[in-house]
């Protein structure tokens, strides 16, 4: 492998560059700044006489060289007109078409193209290639055939209608317009996705498009057609660079939105007692649901985040879910005569409840709910609303104003909303820059108008005066919707269907906008749809430690009404500048990682959905590792870990949870290690077969092998604090990892506890931790003394001190140069599932899972030593000291 290959990235250091491009640029700049001159000696003869003509020619040459040098120096560092726009607005064709450049730069771009003799190319005037010509001729031929077929069908239909009209006139009957019937409710049956257009039917054979698929398909990397995610075409990440912009949009300025319509929604309908029994059957128990804390959730004014569990056996966790109960209307007045009579049970007494779950765990939860609901008396109806209710999530400082510009509340009679109502409360939240400032899981339900009727959206000016901010603070502290929230229309199936059917086409909207005139929104009509929405303000689980952590808005609305809201959000001009960004699956996982939250299902390998994701990522990492040449990939078998350990633990390209649970092989001597290496080198197919046997259960949809399961936070804390508790040997707990000093955890990194079999090595690691703490204190005190001391006398003293500091190595430098060996495999306690440089914390962090039984077996001891860990990236021999924390 050559060591002088040109780097694909810009160098992080401003030092000399040795690449070919840098050499060409240096030569171009040097040539532009150097001037050619002629000596004046040629104008003098041998006798000393001046040749005026030669002298004038030499001066003329120098003047022309100066002018050309000035021009070359000016053009050497200039940029083209199309490079003056932000990166997100650039187009490849901008360098060939003036019309693609912003209007303020078109004159300059036209002048540059004339100077460079660059022809302006348009798609209409471009000469088609041979393949393109054949395609155009085929399309034209098919269009002609289709037009003839359409004409025949239209003539046959006109003839048929004429005969029908003639028959009706002769018989004296009348033709009536029959309203379309309401589709029957599919009780306890899975629903099917809406039928796609015939034009795109072939593309949706094995997957379903999200409502905003057309928007994402041309702007984002999508999941492959051969291997879709959860039978949906899910956007993975925007095509432009978005790692740092997404971080800034969430925390500093802007907003990030996701189309979360792939999240599954299940509706439960039944009596109060039966519904509660069903929820308790899937593990919804405790004070947050049925105690005083859950009073507002039971009233339908709050959402509830909880974990769902299996109903039988050891009750393994399934997935985190969100529960939303239907708020009841205001109680009607009752006469004193009827006050003593028991209230008769009717159809109105049946309660409705939404359960939102990740699509990877939908089928498992659906089967559990069906089994429990059938055993109730009366039975609870379970309805699949996956393709009836869509959702949009948005976060960031500009998220509230973007939603307020798109969601305009609509009162039933067209009057102004009353004070304290959800509609009035929603319009008063313009000054909220962080949704977490609202009550936790606050819920608002009302109807809105079509966002396309006020498109393009106009920028809303947030309030800045003191009285307005005081009114906003009073509103957030009192939160009147807890008492004024009426029955949300989103729970009414007829309201959802009416909003979907009354939704006008885009052509009709454009026609109304044309009649309204430029710059004027079209007036409302009686036939406009009333779109039912529910808005939930949630906050991260790490909110208690970081009060400034941004919250998230979640908007639930009918499936076909997602597109109008999505386009209104994407084209809203924020008051802080720019537009709302959109994110994919990678951005969702990135922002969860920066907030210190585990992402489901990737960070929960103990669940069935998490295990399927783990197998998927393992196969992908293995294929990527095998594609690389042997000289450019890590050789895990020849890795020297020190202390007589050779070879990576398990599969180096992924997290080997089976190896963690089963432990090291029985023949752990040196001879057995050599034999193992020979076996791995002789036949890798047998190794793949052994691995696939353990993974076949997860591929078939069964539970993870070797009884691997996830342990929730409360259970994990109880297991670690109570030494007498017999913890399951295959229980995994999710942790957050923070390194003590340098380094960044990477995915599939190995997590060790402090050495238990080698006391001397354990003492060295503890001494390294204490030295690091001392170095931090010494650095802090030294900086404080330097700030308070007088400045140095001169520049020579400063140079001498700098030279002495560079020559004399510090204790920290020596400790970093001599890395301690990592512990043995017996001290391996887990793997890192997500790891990277955390932009929120300014250092490398990670999220992983540890085996609770191994941590509990190490004894209580000191709490600090117990939570110490050593993180080693796969394929490397250097371990980094850090701490783990249950999350």
Domain CATH number, residue 820: 2.40.30.110
Q: What is the pLDDT of residues 586-627, one digit of tens each?
A: 999 999 999 999 999 999 999 999 999 999 999 999 999 999
pLDDT at res. 4: 42
List helix spans (H) across 430-578. 466-478, 481-484, 493-501, 506-516, 562-570
Q: Is residue 268's pLDDT more than 80? A: yes
Greater confidence (644 vs 222) lies with 222
C-beta contacts of 187-191 below 8 A and 24+ residues apart: 187/381, 187/382, 187/383, 188/370, 188/373, 188/374, 188/381, 188/382, 188/383, 189/384, 190/366, 190/384, 191/384, 191/385, 191/386, 191/387, 191/388
Residue 705: band (very low, low, confident or very high) from pLDDT cuts 50, 70, 90: confident
Same domain flag for 662 and 725: no
pLDDT category at 165 given cuts 50, 70, 90 is confident
Q: pLDDT at position 782, please?
A: 56
pLDDT digits (tens, 9 = 90+) for 177-215: 555 666 777 788 999 998 998 888 889 988 999 999 999
Which 8-state DSSP code applies to residue 715?
Answer: H
pLDDT band at 15 (very low <50, low <70, confident <90, very high): very low
pLDDT exceeds 90 at position 363 = yes
Whether residue 74 is contained in a domain is answered as no
pLDDT of residue 812: 47
Question: 337 versus 379: which is more confidently predicted?
Answer: 379
Last residue of a domain, one of 536, 558, 579: 579
Residue 213 CB burial class (10 angstroms; 0-12, 13-18, ≥19): buried
Residue 622: predicted pLDDT: 94
Give pTM, 2 decimals.
Answer: 0.79
Quick check: 816 pLDDT over 60? no
Identify the band that residue 408 occupies on the pLDDT scale cut at 50, 70 and 90.
very high
Query: Which pLDDT tens digit goes with each residue over 128-161?
Result: 788 888 988 999 999 888 888 889 999 999 999 8
Are the C-beta atoms of residues 752 and 645 closer than 8 Å to each other? Answer: no
Give CA–CA dist 137/131, Å, rounded: 10
pLDDT class of 173 with cuts at 50, 70, 90: low
Looking at the fold, whether 383 and 394 belong to one and the same domain comes out as: no
Tally of structural domains, the chain:
5
**In the predicted structure, residue 340 carries a pLDDT above the cut 60:** no
Could you tell me the residue range of the domain that residue 878 belongs to?
713-779+810-886
Instruction: State how far the Cα of 825 lies from the Cα of 649, in Å rounded to an integer.
Output: 7
Q: From 103, 124, 144, give the residue that closes a domain.
A: 144
- Looking at residues 507-517, what average pLDDT do you find? 93
**What is the per-residue pLDDT for 446?**
94
What share of the chain in percent tops pLDDT 70? 78
pLDDT at 692 over 60: no
Residue 437 DSSP class: G
pLDDT value of residue 737: 95
Assigned domain for 414 exists? yes
| pLDDT at 749 > cutoff 80 | yes
CA 856 – CA 717 distance, rounded (Å): 10
Tell me: do 424 and 534 sit in the same domain. Answer: yes
Q: What is the pLDDT of residue 703?
A: 72
pLDDT value of residue 137: 92
Cα separation, 697 vs 705, whole angstroms: 7
727, 866: one domain: yes
Neighbours of 642 (CB within 10 A): 15
User: What does the pLDDT average to over 510-535?
Assistant: 93
CA distance 842 to 846: 13
Distance CA 446, CA 408 (A): 10
Q: Is residue 860 part of a domain?
A: yes
Q: How far is CA 520 from CA 89, 454, 458, 516, 558, in A?
A: 28, 9, 11, 6, 28
Q: Is 755 part of a structural domain of the chain?
A: yes
Sign of the four-CA dihedral 330, 332, 336, 338? negative
Query: Is pLDDT of 389 > 90?
Result: yes
Confidence grade of residue 343 (pLDDT, cut at 50, 70, 90): low
* Domain match, 816 and 731 both: yes
When mean pLDDT is compared across 65-74, 218-227, 311-320, the lowest value belongs to 65-74
DSSP H or E stretch at residue 268: strand 264-270
Residue 27 clears pLDDT 80, i.e. is over it: no
User: 450 with 503: CB under 8 angstroms?
Assistant: yes
Residue 440 lies in a domain: yes
Q: Is residue 89 part of a domain?
A: yes
Give percent above pLDDT 90 in the chain. 51
The 3-state secondary structure of 539-555 reads: CCHHHHCCCCCCCEEEE
Q: What is the pLDDT of residue 335?
A: 47
Helices (H), 309-398: 362-374
Shared domain for 673 and 732, answered yes or no, is no
Tell me, what's the pLDDT at 616?
Answer: 93
- What span, in angstroms and rounded, lies between the C-alpha atoms of 647 and 649? 7
Mean per-residue pLDDT, 847-867? 85
pLDDT higher than 70, residue 699? no
Distance from the Cα of residue 282 to its chain's centroid: 28
Lowest mean pLDDT among 442-446, 689-693, 828-832: 689-693
The confidence score (pLDDT) of residue 881 equals 93
Q: Indicate if the pLDDT at residue 6 is higher than 50.
A: no
537 upstream amide cis, omega within 30 of 0: no
Residue 836 β-bridge partners: 845
Q: Are residues 374 and 408 in the same domain?
A: no
The answer on 663 and 769 residing in a single domain is no
CA dihedral 276, 279, 285, 289 (to 10 degrees): -70
Query: Mean pLDDT over all residues of the chain?
Result: 83
The 10 Å Cβ neighbour count of residue 268 is: 22
Strands 750-752 and 731-739: unpaired
Helix/strand/coil percentages in the chain, nearest 5: 45, 15, 40
Place of tokens 């080698």: 758
pLDDT of 799 higher than 90: no
Model pLDDT, residue 806? 57
Residue 47 lies in a domain: no
**Same-domain pairing of 641 and 743:** no
Is 52 a member of any domain? Answer: no
Residue range 405-434: average pLDDT? 89
Res 689 pLDDT > 50: no
At residue 91, does pLDDT exceed 70?
no
Residue 9 has pLDDT above 50, yes or no: no
> Is 571 found in the same domain as 426?
yes
d(CA 555, CA 565): 10
pLDDT of residue 99: 78
Claim to verify: residue 756 and residue 670 sit in the same structural domain: no
Q: Are residues 701 and 725 in the same domain?
A: no
The average pLDDT across 486-494 equals: 93
For residues 731-736, average pLDDT? 95
């Amino acid at each position: 492998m050559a060591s002088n290959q040109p780097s694909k990235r810009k160098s992080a250091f401003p030092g000399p560059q040795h690449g070919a491009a840098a050499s060409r640029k240096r030569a171009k700049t040097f040539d532009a700044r150097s001037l050619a001159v002629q000596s004046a000696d040629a104008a003098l003869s041998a006798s000393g006489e001046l040749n005026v003509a030669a002298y004038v020619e030499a001066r003329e040459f120098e003047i022309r060289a100066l002018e050309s040098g000035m021009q070359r120096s000016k053009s050497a560092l200039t940029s083209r007109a199309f490079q003056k726009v932000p990166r997100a607005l650039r187009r490849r064709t901008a360098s060939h078409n003036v019309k693609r450049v912003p209007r303020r730069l078109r004159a300059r771009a036209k002048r540059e193209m004339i100077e460079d003799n660059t022809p302006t190319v348009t798609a209409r005037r471009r000469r088609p290639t041979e393949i393109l010509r054949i395609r155009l001729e085929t399309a034209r031929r098919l269009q002609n055939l289709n037009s003839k077929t359409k004409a025949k069908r239209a003539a046959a239909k006109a003839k048929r209608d004429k005969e029908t009209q003639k028959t009706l006139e002769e018989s004296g009957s009348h033709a009536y317009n029959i309203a379309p019937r309401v589709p029957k409710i599919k009780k306890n049956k899975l629903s099917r996705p809406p039928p796609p257009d015939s034009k795109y039917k072939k593309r949706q054979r094995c997957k379903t498009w999200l409502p905003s698929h057309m928007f994402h398909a041309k702007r984002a990397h999508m999941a492959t057609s051969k291997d879709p995610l959860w039978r949906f075409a899910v956007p993975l990440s925007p095509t432009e660079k978005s790692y740092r912009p997404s971080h800034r949009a969430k925390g500093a300025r802007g907003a990030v939105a996701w189309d979360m319509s792939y999240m599954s929604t299940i509706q439960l309908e039944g009596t109060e007692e039966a519904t509660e029994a069903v929820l308790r059957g899937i593990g919804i128990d405790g004070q947050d649901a049925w105690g005083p804390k859950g009073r507002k959730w039971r009233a339908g004014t709050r959402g509830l985040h909880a974990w769902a569990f299996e109903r039988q056996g050891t009750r393994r966790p399934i997935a985190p879910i969100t529960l939303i109960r239907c708020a009841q209307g205001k109680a009607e007045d009752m006469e004193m005569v009827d006050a003593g009579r028991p209230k008769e049970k009717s159809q109105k007494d049946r309660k409705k409840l939404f359960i939102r779950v990740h699509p990877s765990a939908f089928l498992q939860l659906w089967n559990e709910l069906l089994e429990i609901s059938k055993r109730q008396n009366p039975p609870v109806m379970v309805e699949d609303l996956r393709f009836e209710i869509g959702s949009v999530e948005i976060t960031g400082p500009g998220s509230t104003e973007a939603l307020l510009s798109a969601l305009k509340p609509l009162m039933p009679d067209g009057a102004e909303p009353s004070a304290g109502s959800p509609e009035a409360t929603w319009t008063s939240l313009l000054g909220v820059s962080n949704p977490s400032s609202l009550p936790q899981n606050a819920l608002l339900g009302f109807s809105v108008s079509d966002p396309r009727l006020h498109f393009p959206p106009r920028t809303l000016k947030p309030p800045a005066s003191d009285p307005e901010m005081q009114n906003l603070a009073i509103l957030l502290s009192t939160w009147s919707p807890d008492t004024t929230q009426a029955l949300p229309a989103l729970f009414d199936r007829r309201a959802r269907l009416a909003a979907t059917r009354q939704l006008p086409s885009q052509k009709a909207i454009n026609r109304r906008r044309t009649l309204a005139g430029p710059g004027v929104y079209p007036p409302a009509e009686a036939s406009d749809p009333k779109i039912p929405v529910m808005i939930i303000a949630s906050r991260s689980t790490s909110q208690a430690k970081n009060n400034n952590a941004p919250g998230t808005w979640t908007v639930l609305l009918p499936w076909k009404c997602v597109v109008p809201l999505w386009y209104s959000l994407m084209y809203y001009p924020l008051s802080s500048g720019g537009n709302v960004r959109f994110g994919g699956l990678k951005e969702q996982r990135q922002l969860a990682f920066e907030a210190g939250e585990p992402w489901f299902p990737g960070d929960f390998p103990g669940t069935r959905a998490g295990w399927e994701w783990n197998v998927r990522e393992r196969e992908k990492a293995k294929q990527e590792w095998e594609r690389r040449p042997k000289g450019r990939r890590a050789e895990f078998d020849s890795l020297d870990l020190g202390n007589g350990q050779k070879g990576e633990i398990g599969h180096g390209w992924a997290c080997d949870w089976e190896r963690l649970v089963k432990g090291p092989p029985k023949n752990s001597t040196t001879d057995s290690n050599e034999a193992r290496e020979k076996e791995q080198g002789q036949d890798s197919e047998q190794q793949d077969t052994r691995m696939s046997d353990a993974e076949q259960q997860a591929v078939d949809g069964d539970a993870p092998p070797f009884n691997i399961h996830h342990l929730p936070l409360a259970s994990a804390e109880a297991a670690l604090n109570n030494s007498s508790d017999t913890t399951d040997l295959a229980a995994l707990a999710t942790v957050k990892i923070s390194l003590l000093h340098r380094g960044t955890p990477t995915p599939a990194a190995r997590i060790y506890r402090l050495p238990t079999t080698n006391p001397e090595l354990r003492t060295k690691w503890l001494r390294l931790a204490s030295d690091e703490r001392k170095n931090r204190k010494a650095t802090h005190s030294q900086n404080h003394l330097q700030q308070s001391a007088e400045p140095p006398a001169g520049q020579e003293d400063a140079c001498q001190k700098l030279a002495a500091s560079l020559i004399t190595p510090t204790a920290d430098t020596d400790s970093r140069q001599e890395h301690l060996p990592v512990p043995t495999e017996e001290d391996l306690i887990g793997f890192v599932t997500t790891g990277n440089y955390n932009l929120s914390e300014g250092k490398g962090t990670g999220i992983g899972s540890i085996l609770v039984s191994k941590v509990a077996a190490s004894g209580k001891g000191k709490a600090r030593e117990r939570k110490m860990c050593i993180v080693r990236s796969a394929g490397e021999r250097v371990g980094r000291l850090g701490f783990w924390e249950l999350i």
